[in-house]
Amino acid sequence: MDKLHTLYYFLDLAGTFAFAISGATAARQRGLDLFGICAIAFTVACGGGIIRDLCIGAIPPAGLTNWRYLVAAIIAAGTTIGLYPFVRRLNRPVLFFDALGLSLFAVTGAQKTLAYGHNAEVAVLLGIITAVGGGVLRDVLLNRIPVILEKEIYASAALAGASIVVAGNYLNWLSADWISIIALIVCLGLRLLALRYHWNLPVYSNDKAGHD
């Protein structure tokens, strides 16, 4: 399954790139300068993984040591700046790669946590944090409520993916590779279906207190 790992590697960079594009686009729309756009692109791409690595004791965090992530973020920022009309029209592919990044980061985040010897709860929580942490930091830095807390099946898809990895690992189903492929497909599928059919989690209006 060596080809699988080459595929993973490619998908990981594609996900990083898509996350960075989403950060750079948001930063550009808020009127940040060149440095700000690069910083937000890098934060979205690597922020979740950095928090995970701090929590599992993987020092220094991979997001800071591996130049490929930094280069992917800078290329994404450059693309967003130079080819903005093109990137805007890319909306659909970007959403697709963002969903792919979400799925990959949830799966690899949970796997890395298990590999460091931590328990199931830590692995599920850090799988989610790896997947959504960068987007939360982006929204905090751009001074708005993180969109993933407000609507859409997004973190919930990451929860599903990370849970499958952890359950598979404990129950010793199949091989680790098959488990991660299943987790990936479930998370990606959930996210794409949610996008397609506008699935949202329930919101509890506070004005109608007592009526729900």
Residues in contact with a copy of itself by CB under 8 A are 27-37, 39-40, 50, 54-57, 59-61, 64-67, 70, 81, 84-85, 88, 118-119, 121-122, 125-126, 136, 140-146, 148-152, 155-156, 200-206, 209-210, 212
Query: What is the nearest approach in angstroms of a copy of itself to the Cβ of residue 20?
Result: 15
Query: What is the nearest approach in angstroms of a copy of itself to the Cβ of residue 116?
Result: 8
What does the buried/exposed string (b/e) look like for 50-82 if buried means 16 or more CB atoms within 10 Å of the residue's CB? Answer: bbbbebbebeebebeeeeebbebbbebbebbbe
C-beta closer to a copy of itself: residue 66 or 95 = 66
Query: What is the nearest approach in angstroms of a copy of itself to the Cβ of residue 183?
Result: 18
C-beta closer to a copy of itself: residue 145 or 174 = 145
C-beta closer to a copy of itself: residue 2 or 212 = 212
Query: What is the nearest approach in angstroms of a copy of itself to the Cβ of residue 78?
Result: 11
Q: Where are the alpha helices (DSSP H) in 57-174?
A: 62-65, 67-82, 84-89, 91-115, 120-141, 147-150, 155-171
Query: What is the nearest approach in angstroms of a copy of itself to the Cβ of residue 197?
Result: 16
C-beta closer to a copy of itself: residue 35 or 178 = 35
Measured CA to CA, the distance from residue 160 to residue 186 in angstroms comes to: 7
Handedness of CA 202, 46, 52, 161 (dihedral sign): positive
- Tell me which amino acid residue 109 is: G
Q: In whole angstroms, how far apart are CA 191 and each of 91, 97, 195, 211?
A: 15, 11, 6, 31
Query: What is the nearest approach in angstroms of a copy of itself to the Cβ of residue 144?
Result: 6
C-beta closer to a copy of itself: residue 61 or 181 = 61
Measured CA to CA, the distance from residue 47 to residue 41 in angstroms comes to: 10
Measured CA to CA, the distance from residue 205 to residue 212 in angstroms comes to: 8
C-beta closer to a copy of itself: residue 3 or 198 = 198
